[in-house]
Structure 1
């Protein structure tokens, strides 16, 4: 029902985001990882699975990358080849600018045939040679718009600096985009400002707002926190100190994530903007994976209590 929820502007969308295994992983190990992923996610009440395209963003900043970059398997190949038994729609990320138009068009055709949905993201660095512009990529997708939906990324930190995220969103809506997945949210004020300015622009232009899906990610170590900041995620100083001073950073971050989800839910309901959450699980530590599952279940229950998601019906056999 993911597509229907997006097209109808229904709040309470719940996604779960993963990265594919690394390049060089043996096929047997890839199959094992996929099987564990399917088993874990089969118990969750999610509307779709996000499979990220992992890019090397080292050229974006002069700061040293906390973790070494390792190429990952192609997200479409992983989702179609190993996750087909998971009966939820798949959302596949792709940097449109890295591919020529013909290749991108074929990729969109395969996505559509499989019932998957695209999210186009930007290039890894400003000086990266662009083979297909975002405008051209969206134009290629338009042939599928009657029977599909397409997403894009929104970055609250960028809006804090440039104050133009609402315009970027509206421009992409004109191109056909109907849902926006945020960068991981730890600064709730930044996220609120994007929504406020977006809603103001939508009212001025008398158009319905798109669905805004906030990414929520637990943080289990000081090095993970450092990596999040390297990626451009803003963690307020007070919250950072709270995490670093906690006896169990993972447990503390889960509580903070749930508080953020609750606050954003109240805020978006008051603003009357369709919204949802994407629970990200990109760590390899078992405790952090389990924390992502716990977060998904808790946020699912919270949204149900608000009347934004329906309880899972049990069919007696």
Structure 2
């Protein structure tokens, strides 16, 4: 890729960023199996023209929803450790998520101090206001300013939340230089957020930062149930399209491509810098391969607009 590195693209608020996101393997895996998963992952990613990789930090979010989780929560490896110990063959930058409430201040401080030059981060707050935390999101942002102000920092954007554009601007004031959305299924809600954010930036005389849209394939109704459980708003028409499709994965793929095109057009009309994150968190081979195909297709769509 003959483009600037990801940290520079985000620092300069350039459009067209493309990243791919995964979760680290489950802690219950053997060391041999973890190595195998890492090798296969690197082989798959090698075929893609990416600006970077996202490694999610998974936390138990049962506090957000009293209903039973559609899939059981299984702890995963620490994303920072997985990167340094098993993904040494990855040559592009990596965005490491940190659910900051899980970590005591000294541990978070030590990780930031030791993060390499190709590392960026996204700090994630607690999944509910009543959750007990070791480090608050605000304190984590302060620590980063004290320990590693040069560490590129991103933040999560959730379209369905009230006044989310104001939250984004508050995070921006505390050091966030880019945003990664929760998975997008409701395009209208996302466009509402983008519009509110863009015009509030204009009103304040602040430059908008790059918003990276997360696209995730949904190959079954069970997966859709988990998405809903996590608080993502799925429009009824989209649920019906997937539920009644002869091939739910193919229908989900088609809708993701349509959403990507719609968001590109909308952002370019506004003049808002944007990018995409293709999420691959399923263990089903068909969904993993379809995610790779989606990333390749979105790459071609972006290439014609860069």
Match of 1:280 in 2: 279
Match of 2:130 in 1: 127
Q: CA contact under 8 A between 1:98 and 1:129: conserved in structure 2?
A: no
Match of 2:243 in 1: 244
Match of 1:314 in 2: none
RMSD of equivalent CA atoms? 1.1
Cα distance in structure 2, aligned partners of 1:29 and 1:97: 29
Match of 2:108 in 1: 104
Cα distance in structure 1, aligned partners of 2:295 and 2:16: 12
Corresponding position: 1:25 with 2:29: yes
1:289-300 equivalence runs, <5 A: 289-300=288-299
Q: CA contact under 8 A between 1:15 and 1:48: conserved in structure 2?
A: yes
Match of 1:56 in 2: 60
Cα distance in structure 2, aligned partners of 1:233 and 1:127: 20
Match of 1:154 in 2: 157
Given candidates 41, 44, 48, the residue that maps to 2:45 is 41
Given candidates 138, 142, 146, the residue that maps to 1:139 is 142
Aligned residue pair count:
301
Cα distance in structure 2, aligned partners of 1:195 and 1:155: 11
Q: CA contact under 8 A between 1:96 and 1:134: conserved in structure 2?
A: yes
Structure 2: gaps of 5 or more residues: none
**1:133 CA displacement:** 2.1
**1:78 CA displacement:** 0.6
Corresponding position: 1:74 with 2:83: no
TM-score by length of 1: 0.93
TM-score by length of 2: 0.96
Cα distance in structure 2, aligned partners of 1:207 and 1:59: 35
Cα distance in structure 2, aligned partners of 1:156 and 1:201: 15
Cα distance in structure 1, aligned partners of 2:6 and 2:117: 14
Structure 1: gaps of 5 or more residues: 309-317
**1:95 CA displacement:** 1.4
Cα distance in structure 1, aligned partners of 2:80 and 2:127: 19
Match of 2:167 in 1: 168
SS at 1:156 equivalent = coil
Q: CA contact under 8 A between 2:221 and 2:243: conserved in structure 1?
A: yes
